[in-house]
Structure 1
Amino acid sequence: MIDFVAELQWRGMIHDIMPGTEEQLKKEMTTGYIGFDPTADSLHIGHLTQIMTLVHFQKAGHRPLALVGGATGMVGDPSGKSAERNLLSEEILNHNLNCVKGQLEKFLDFNCGENSAEMVNNYDWFKEFSFLEFIRDVGKHITVNYMMAKDSVKKRLESGMSFTEFSYQLVQGYDFYWLNQNKNCKLQLGGSDQWGNIVTGTELIRRKAQGEAFAMTTPLIKKADGTKFGKTEAGAIWLDRKKTSPYKFYQYWLNASDEDAANYIRIFTLLSKEEIESVEKEHQEAPHLRKLQQVLAKDITIRVHSEEDYEMSVKASQILFGKSTTEDLVTLDEDTLLSVFEGVPQTQISKAMLEETANVTDLLSEVTDGLVFPSKGEARKMIKGGGVSINKTKVEDANQPCDFKLLQDKYILAQKGKKNYYLIIVE
Structure 2
Amino acid sequence: MNIIQDLEQRGLIQQTTDEEGLKKHLSDHVVTLYCGFDPTADSLHIGHLVPALMLKRFQLAGHRPIALIGGGTGMIGDPSGRSSERQLNDEATVSWFSKQIEKQLATILDFEKEKNGAVARNNAEWLGSLSLIEFLRDTGKHFGVNYMLAKDSVQSRLENGISFTEFTYMILQSYDFMNLFEKENCTLQIGGSDQWGNITAGMELIRRTRQAEEEVKVFGLTVPLITKADGTKFGKTAGGAVWLDGEKTSPYEFYQFWINTDDRDVIKFLKYFTFLSLEEIGMLEEELKQAPEQRLPHIRLAEEMTKLVHGEQALLQAKKISAALFSGDIKQLNGEEIQQGFKSVPNVQIFKESKLLVDLLVETKISSSKRQAREDIQNGAIYINGDRQQDLSYEITENDRIDDRFTIIRRGKKKYFLIDFQ
Q: Settle same-fold status: TM greater than 0.5.
A: yes
Q: In the alignment, what sits opposite 1:341? A: 342
Q: Letter of the aligned partner of 1:16 in structure 2?
A: Q
- For the pair 1:257 / 2:262, whether they are aligned, the reply is yes
Shift in Å at residue 389 of structure 1? 2.8
Q: Letter of the aligned partner of 2:420 in structure 1?
A: I
Aligned runs of 1:25-424 on 2, under 5 Å?
25-210=26-211, 211-321=216-326, 323-329=327-333, 331=334, 333-334=335-336, 336-352=337-353, 354=354, 357=355, 360=357, 362-363=358-359, 365=361, 368=364, 371=367, 374-375=370-371, 377-383=374-380, 388-395=382-389, 397-403=391-397, 404-424=399-419
Identity, % of aligned pairs? 44
8 Å Cα contact 2:331-2:402 kept in structure 1 = no
* 1:18-71 Cα deviation digits (max 9, x unpaired): 112122111111100000011111100000010110010100100000101111
Q: Helix, strand or coil for the counterpart of 1:114?
A: coil
Residues of 2 paired with 1:85 and 1:369: CA distance? 41
8 Å Cα contact 1:345-1:371 kept in structure 2 = no
Residues of 2 paired with 1:225 and 1:86: CA distance? 30
Q: Helix, strand or coil for the counterpart of 2:65?
A: strand
8 Å Cα contact 1:13-1:219 kept in structure 2 = yes
Decide which moves more: 9-18 or 415-424.
415-424
Shift in Å at residue 366 of structure 1? 5.3
Q: Helix, strand or coil for the counterpart of 2:107?
A: coil
Q: Helix, strand or coil for the counterpart of 1:105?
A: helix
Residues of 2 paired with 1:370 and 1:144: CA distance? 63
Shift in Å at residue 351 of structure 1? 2.2
Residues of 1 paired with 2:389 and 2:172: CA distance? 66
Q: Letter of the aligned partner of 1:266 in structure 2?
A: K
Shift in Å at residue 348 of structure 1? 3.9
TM-score (norm 2): 0.92
Shift in Å at residue 113 of structure 1? 1.8
8 Å Cα contact 1:39-1:93 kept in structure 2 = yes
Residues of 1 paired with 2:63 and 2:246: CA distance? 30
* 1:268-304 Cα deviation digits (max 9, x unpaired): 1111111111111112211112111111011101111
Q: In the alignment, what sits opposite 1:426? A: 421
8 Å Cα contact 2:324-2:330 kept in structure 1 = no
CA distance change for structure 1 residues 35 and 346 in 2, over 3 Å: closer, same or farther? closer
8 Å Cα contact 1:13-1:267 kept in structure 2 = yes
Q: Helix, strand or coil for the counterpart of 2:217?
A: coil
CA distance change for structure 1 residues 139 and 284 in 2, over 3 Å: closer, same or farther? same
Residues of 2 paired with 1:338 and 1:396: CA distance? 26
CA distance change for structure 1 residues 273 and 393 in 2, over 3 Å: closer, same or farther? same
Q: Letter of the aligned partner of 1:414 in structure 2?
A: I
8 Å Cα contact 1:372-1:422 kept in structure 2 = no
Q: Letter of the aligned partner of 2:8 in structure 1?
A: Q
8 Å Cα contact 1:373-1:379 kept in structure 2 = no
8 Å Cα contact 1:13-1:218 kept in structure 2 = yes
CA distance change for structure 1 residues 230 and 370 in 2, over 3 Å: closer, same or farther? closer
Residues of 2 paired with 1:197 and 1:21: CA distance? 18
Q: Letter of the aligned partner of 1:310 in structure 2?
A: L
8 Å Cα contact 1:169-1:200 kept in structure 2 = yes
**5+ residue gaps, structure 1:** none
Q: Helix, strand or coil for the counterpart of 1:65?
A: strand
Decide which moves more: 75-84 or 158-167.
158-167
CA distance change for structure 1 residues 327 and 338 in 2, over 3 Å: closer, same or farther? closer
Residues of 1 paired with 2:382 and 2:142: CA distance? 75
Shift in Å at residue 379 of structure 1? 4.4
Decide which moves more: 11-20 or 372-381.
372-381
TM-score (norm 1): 0.91
Residues of 2 paired with 1:106 and 1:81: CA distance? 29
Residues of 1 paired with 2:154 and 2:364: CA distance? 59
CA distance change for structure 1 residues 316 and 372 in 2, over 3 Å: closer, same or farther? farther
